[in-house]
Amino acid sequence: MLWFKKKTNSLSQQSLEDRLHEIKKSALPKHVAIIMDGNGRWAKNKLLPRIAGHREGMENIRIISRFANKLGLKALTLYAFSTENWKRSKEEVSYLMKLPEEFLEQFLPELMELNMRVISIGEIGLVPDSTQQAIQNAAEVTKNNTGLILNFAFNYGSRAEMLIAMNQLVEDAKNGLLDGPVTEEIFSSKLFTAELEDPDLLIRTSGELRLSNFLLWQLAYTEFYFTETLWPEFLEEDFLMAIEDFQRRERRLGGRIGEGEDKH
């Protein structure tokens, strides 16, 4: 009964548990991707500095990833830092760069207990050494865990990812390693997300209706869910609402998805 933050009366808790039970009866999304927007706005609303919003947003990753793990999702991809984010103030960028270390220092023991695995996508070679090491260490330590894959998109940009894939293919071709046309499978295998299935559901918080260079190739058939709720306030119940919405859409499509030809 301690699963739900900020719920006070037992009636609402009961209904959340019931809903949890209900959603497990129909197909859950396997892979959910989230654009965690609205941390700065959350802080502003509370007259706090932006970095306080980032910290609260980080705390919320803990809540949502535990919940996703409890639901039995296979993967949760979180847009933590985009290639565009370098344009923010020096102070903010340096604060953001410290968050992975801080998050992992606090949460790694719990990730191990919960059997969760940490991976990352993005140009991680271009971030400060200590940040890079913290992320690589977490990936190494958790690599045999079989629960939720917690995937951080870090210094990630989808167009850059596709160009890296393209240039690798050009190299392969030069070296005579390609003996036919490039297929979707071959292209996908060169992306940072090679080991993951495409997301079934994308969530963006805080009311913006854009993709912001996130997983452009991988989201080709994904259901989108947008909410006005700010990331630090997006709790278990909100995540549940997104999944319920996803399941209603799946039911309306009547099982056409996944049958091959009608995929759209």
The encoded tokens of residue 48 equal 């706090």
C-alpha distances out from residue 230 to 4, 9, 49, 130, Å: 18, 23, 16, 30
Closest distance to ligand V07 from the beta carbon of 13 (Å): 26
Nearest to 216 by CA among 140, 162, 147, 149: 162
Between the two ends of the chain, the Cα-to-Cα distance in Å is: 40
Cα dihedral angle (50, 56, 57, 61), rounded to 10 degrees?
160
Q: How many CB atoms lie within 10 A of CB 72?
A: 11
Give yes or no for residue 156 binding ligand V07 (CB under 6 A). no
Contact region with ligand V07 (CB under 6 A), list: 12-20, 94-102, 168-176, 206-214: 94-102
Give the amino acid at 249: R
Give yes or no for residue 81 binding ligand V07 (CB under 6 A). yes
Nearest to 209 by CA among 222, 198, 229, 225: 225
User: 18, 39, 45, 85: which is the annotated catalytic residue?
Assistant: 85
Contact region with ligand V07 (CB under 6 A), list: 53-61, 197-205, 209-217, 221-229: 53-61
The residue sitting closest to ligand V07, measured at its beta carbon, is 57
Contact region with ligand V07 (CB under 6 A), list: 55-63, 188-196, 211-219, 251-259: 55-63
129 is catalytic: no
Closest distance to ligand V07 from the beta carbon of 184 (Å): 29
Query: Cβ(263)–Cβ(257) under 8 Å?
Result: yes
Q: Binding marks (x or -) toward ligand V07, 166..205, rule CB under 6 A?
A: ----------------------------------------
Closest distance to ligand V07 from the beta carbon of 159 (Å): 19
Closest distance to ligand V07 from the beta carbon of 185 (Å): 28
CA distance 164 to 160: 6
C-alpha distances out from residue 24 to 36, 63, 98, 201, 203, Å: 25, 19, 37, 16, 19
145 is catalytic: no
Q: Tell which one of 43, 64, 118, 215 touches ligand V07 (CB under 6 A).
A: 118
Q: Tell which one of 111, 135, 202, 215 touches ligand V07 (CB under 6 A).
A: 135
Q: Contacts with ligand V07: how many residues (CB under 6 A)?
A: 20
Query: CB neighbours of 25 closer than 8 A, spacing ≥ 6?
Result: none
Question: Between residues 43 and 104, which has the closer beta carbon with respect to ligand V07?
Answer: 104
Question: Between residues 111 and 240, which has the closer beta carbon with respect to ligand V07?
Answer: 111
Q: Which residues make up the interface to ligand V07 (CB under 6 A)? A: 36, 39, 54, 57-58, 61, 80-81, 96, 99-100, 103-104, 118, 120, 135, 138, 152, 154, 231
